[in-house]
Amino acid sequence: MDAPVTLITGTRIGIGRHLAEHYLRLGHRVVGCSRAPVDWTREGYNHYGTDVADEKGVKAMFSAIRRSYGRLDHLINNAGIASMNHSLLTPVSTVSAILATNAVGTFLLSREAAKLMKRKGYGRIVNFSSVAVPLKLAGEAAYVASKSAVVALTHVLAREFAEFGITVNCVGPGPLATNLIRSVPKQTIDRLLSLQAIPRMGTFDDVANTVDFFLRPESGFITGQTIYLGGV
Amino acid sequence: MPHHDDDMRQVVDLIIDNVNQLKNTQGLKAPAQLDSATALFGGDGFLDSMALVTLVVAVEQAIEEKFGTNVSLADPGAMSQEHSPYRTIGALADYALRRLRAA
């Protein structure tokens, strides 16, 4: 069976779920994970209850992928958490949790994925940053720090993994209608959108289109890049 | 449960098998005779840093296949330590065995 194997983190809801359904429609064998159980299922989809920041759990998931599929073609590091708050009102436990999921999780999944991908000398890793990084959003210090770390990881891992035939790139969406921005006031979102060249909310398809581009076999000469959506 | 020496010999053999595979598949330049005293990395070692990465990952996977246990052979001081677990085949086998027992 030649259908590519695509691992997507954070598939319970939002962008992750949309991407899982998108790549299933394109004929990929999709593996997903999330901390909480999913309330949906599809043929060709295999789910793991894995926390991306838990090394033991992540390694166990990759062992299972190796046994089941013997390969991994694509990793989409989508899982992420956010918390909007002034830094003077942010407990350190929140900072640690955000860095663990967004930055450590991206590192851990990429490391284990590269071990599996290098067997074939081929792989595509797509990370998730945010327009909050170039916009230096006040009120999101921990989130911006974690997503800046993702951009930095993208640069360095691209260099380290290049000789294994693995590209590492990054997409930075702006606001999308997901749970992540559910509690953000409309005024704040409007101000954010006004900073984009194209001042509208992003869609799941905008994100999927960018990820599609990075995953294409023809994109083998594109690595270490971050594309911010909406013209930020 | 096999005796410690048996385990050690099995892991040393497993590492030597993997070095030989890398010789055959990736043209790794390694000494003809390999044993636990053979230097791997640093000093007289025959591995450069990328070959070390490839060997360590291959050994991790081979250990999982042989013993059914997922161990990480990553080590924070590996690239600089004087007593790095990667300095000889024997040192790597000992390190892997300790990780295997702790898992």
Name the residue type at position A129: S
**Residues of A with CB below 8 A from B61's CB?**
66, 115
Q: Is the pLDDT of residue A232 over 80?
A: yes
**Which of B60, B61, B100 to mutate to probe the A interface, most A CBs <10 Å?**
B61
**Residues of A with CB below 8 A from B57's CB?**
115, 118
Q: Which domains does chain A have, with CATH numbers?
A: 5-228 (3.40.50.720)
Beta-carbon separation of B60 and A115 below 8 A: yes
Whether B69 is covered by a domain: the verdict is: yes
Whether B86 is covered by a domain: the verdict is: yes
**Residues of A with CB below 8 A from B50's CB?**
163
ipTM value of the model?
0.77
**Residues of A with CB below 8 A from B54's CB?**
118
- Is A60's Cβ below 8 Å from some Cβ in B? yes
Whether B45 is covered by a domain: the verdict is: yes
Whether B79 is covered by a domain: the verdict is: yes
Q: Chain A: residue nearest B58 by CA?
A: A115
How many separate domains does chain B show?
Answer: 1
Active-site position among A23, A45, A143, A228: A143
Whether B80 is covered by a domain: the verdict is: yes
Q: Chain A: residue nearest B60 by CA?
A: A115
Whether B60 is covered by a domain: the verdict is: yes
- Using CA atoms in the order B8, B13, B18, B24, what is the torsion angle rounded to 10 degrees? 160
**Phi, psi for residue A65 in degrees, rounded to 5:** -65, -40
- Is A118's Cβ below 8 Å from some Cβ in B? yes
Q: Chain B: residue nearest A119 by CA?
A: B58
- Is B50's Cβ below 8 Å from some Cβ in A? yes
* Number of helices (H), then strands (E), in chain A: 7, 7
CATH number for the domain spanning B79: value is 1.10.1200
* DSSP state, residue B29: -
Tell me whether residue A143 is one of the annotated catalytic residues: yes
pLDDT digits (tens, 9 = 90+) for B12-43: 999 999 999 998 888 888 999 999 999 999 88
Q: Chain B: residue nearest A64 by CA?
A: B70
Copy the structure tokens of residue B99: 């990780």
How many other C-beta atoms lie within 10 A of the C-beta of residue A163? 12
Beta-carbon separation of B57 and A115 below 8 A: yes
Q: For residue B78, what pLDDT is reported?
A: 64
- The range of the structural domain enclosing residue B67 comes to 4-24+34-102
pLDDT digits (tens, 9 = 90+) for A151-209: 999 999 999 999 999 999 999 999 987 776 777 788 888 998 999 999 999 999 999 99
The CA-CA-CA angle for residues B97, B102, B103, to 5°, reads 100
Whether B29 is covered by a domain: the verdict is: no
pLDDT digits (tens, 9 = 90+) for A86-139: 999 999 999 999 999 999 999 999 999 999 999 999 999 999 999 999 999 999
